[in-house]
Amino acid sequence: MDAQANFLNGGARAAGAAGAAAAPYDPLYDPLVKPPGQGQDYAPTYWVATAGEPPPDDGPITSDVDADVVIVGSGFTGLSAALALARDFGIRATVLEANRAVWGCTSRNGGQGQNASGRLYRSQWIQRWGMEVARRLDAEIRDGFEYWKSLVAEIDCDAQPGGHLYTAHRPKKLAFLENEARVMREVFGYDTRMLSRAELHERYAHDQEAAGALLEPDGTGVHPLKLAFGYLRQARALGARVHPCSPVLGWDNDGSTFRLRTPGGIVRARRVAFATGGYTAQGVNRLLDNRIMPVLSNSMVTRPLSETERRAAGLHSTVFITDTRTLRFYYRLLPDGRMQIGSRSAIHGADAGQPRHLELLRHGLARKFPALRDIEIDYSWWGWVDVSHDMMPRVTQPDPAQRVYYALGYGGNGVSFSAQAGRRLAQRIVGKDGVRWDLPIYDTPLPGHAFAPWRRLGQALLYRWYYLRDEIF
């Protein structure tokens, strides 16, 4: 199968409970220059192809309606918030989605559930906030990982436990990993340890680039769309309403009621939460304009490997792996014997379909596993990642005078933490005390950036510098 053509051509599928045909998918969508669209079909990812039929939803908004809580965005965060509101507080939220349910980041990520969030390592937490805050932040994210695992245990989502490997893609990165392993073990109490190149090859994978690896005991790979469909079923069973094809075109507030404008009608609500991730379009919510750096990530999945091919590549484990590049590669053996690998993609959405981005992944897979150099690729896709300007997420009420909340900024580490973010978002919405609201991911808004209008130019320069630092210097 031609993976690039598979992505670009796509294929319409029935859209939600209403049964209407989905709008064509726009593979070149860019949240900095385009509105979110309406009713677009899914990106033809491996996850979409293997998740089964989407669960029923509540169809588009077709008239003016009233709601207590509206959540904008039906990905992991929005659905987990709706689930927590229903389970813990008896509140039946209304979830608005511009396109199909679970359409954005949640249907395109790598499915790697880590005990982490944001782009910073734990040693960097200590440098930024000091030891006491870093310990409390670790306790919060660890609690979130356990909460996420409890949700995974309820849903058939092809879970692959076993931990997470950071591989040193060059010998010079071993010292960095050794320090991080020491910090995680001695400061935070994790059973982390270093693996030699020989141990990595014997037990996990013959990654020819890797000089060694850090093994984290916490980590579970999942089928992200099966997991999200499970969230959707559970939330709706408890009374939440999920409306696809209902983009928020704008909103205002008369002091007590928010009026969210959709193509089908006005949704009136007392409280509003935004969980739109990397698909947060400019101009919809001024509290979020220029607060996120949307970055494209590219992913591909091979055809199923034979037992002989797996042996030739030395693939002994399904534990997922990330290398130490700044523009990292992430990869794993899937339950059906396929290899998945992902990394950076284009800077602009208009450039996303260029073949060189798929070639980057092909070349990366071949460097790591030469036996797979010519393996056929069945799926290729890309999607937007919500990177905050300070590399850490926020779950917050940015303006105390308004009952508006948001949870964004996971930086590619949101598969597991999004469940905790959704739960904390629900607790913020109801005004729950006793939670760690004084942590930096909760008590400040997403930072802006003075050079946000020129962010793509800066990104291009940074990508060049990262390449030189990762591969040359």
Give per-10-residue mean pLDDT for the chain (473 aa): 44 41 92 93 97 98 98 98 98 98 96 96 98 97 98 98 98 98 98 98 98 97 98 98 97 92 98 97 91 96 98 98 97 98 96 96 98 98 96 95 96 97 97 88 92 89 95 92
Position 19 scores a pLDDT of: 45
Compute the distance between CA of residue 464 and CA of residue 458 in angstroms, rounded to an integer.
10
Query: Letter for the amino acid at 17?
Result: A
Position 139 scores a pLDDT of: 97
Residue 431, burial from CB neighbour count under 10 angstroms (0-12, 13-18, 19+): exposed
If we measure between CA atoms, which residue out of 40, 50, 17, 2 comes closest to residue 225?
Answer: 50
Strand-pair category, 94-96 with 241-243: parallel
Summarised one tens digit per residue, pLDDT across range 280-333 is 999 889 999 999 999 999 999 999 999 999 999 999 999 999 999 999 999 999
Which residues does residue 38 pair with via DSSP β-bridges, in sequence order? none
Position 10 scores a pLDDT of: 38
Compute the distance between CA of residue 309 and CA of residue 106 in angstroms, rounded to an integer.
30
Architecture field, domain 161-220+293-388: 2-Layer Sandwich (3.30)
Position 129 scores a pLDDT of: 97
Is 117 within 8 Å of 91 (Cβ atoms)? no
Q: What are the extents of the domains in the chain?
A: 161-220+293-388
Q: What is the 3-state secondary structure (H, E, C) of the chain?
A: CCHHHHHHHCCCCEECCCCEECECCCCCCCCCCCCCCCCECCCCCHHHHHCCCCCCCCCCCCCCEEEEEEEECCCHHHHHHHHHHHHHHCCCCEEECCCCCCCCHHHCCCCEECCCCCCCCHHHHHHHHCHHHHHHHHHHHHHHHHHHHHHHCCCCCCCEECCEEEECCCHHHHHHHHHHHHHHHHCCCCCCEEEEHHHHHHHCCCCCCCCEEEEECCCEECCHHHHHHHHHHHHHHCCCEEECCCCCCEEEECCCCEEEEECCEEEEEEEEEECCHHHCCCCCCCCCCCCEEEEEEEEEEECCCCHHHHHHHCCCCCCEEEECCCCCCEEEECCCCCEEEEEECCCCHHHCCCHHHHHHHHHHHHHHCHHHCCCCEEEEEEEEEEEECCCCCEEECCCCCCCEEEEECCCCCCCCHHHHHHHHHHHHHHCCCCCCCCCCCCCCCCCCCCCHHHHHHHHHHHHHHHHHHHHCC
Compute the distance between CA of residue 443 and CA of residue 398 in angstroms, rounded to an integer.
9
Summarised one tens digit per residue, pLDDT across range 168-192 is 999 999 999 999 999 999 999 999 9
Compute the distance between CA of residue 418 and CA of residue 408 in angstroms, rounded to an integer.
9
Position 101 scores a pLDDT of: 97
Compute the distance between CA of residue 210 and CA of residue 457 in angstroms, rounded to an integer.
32
If we measure between CA atoms, which residue out of 429, 316, 450, 303 comes closest to residue 372?
Answer: 303
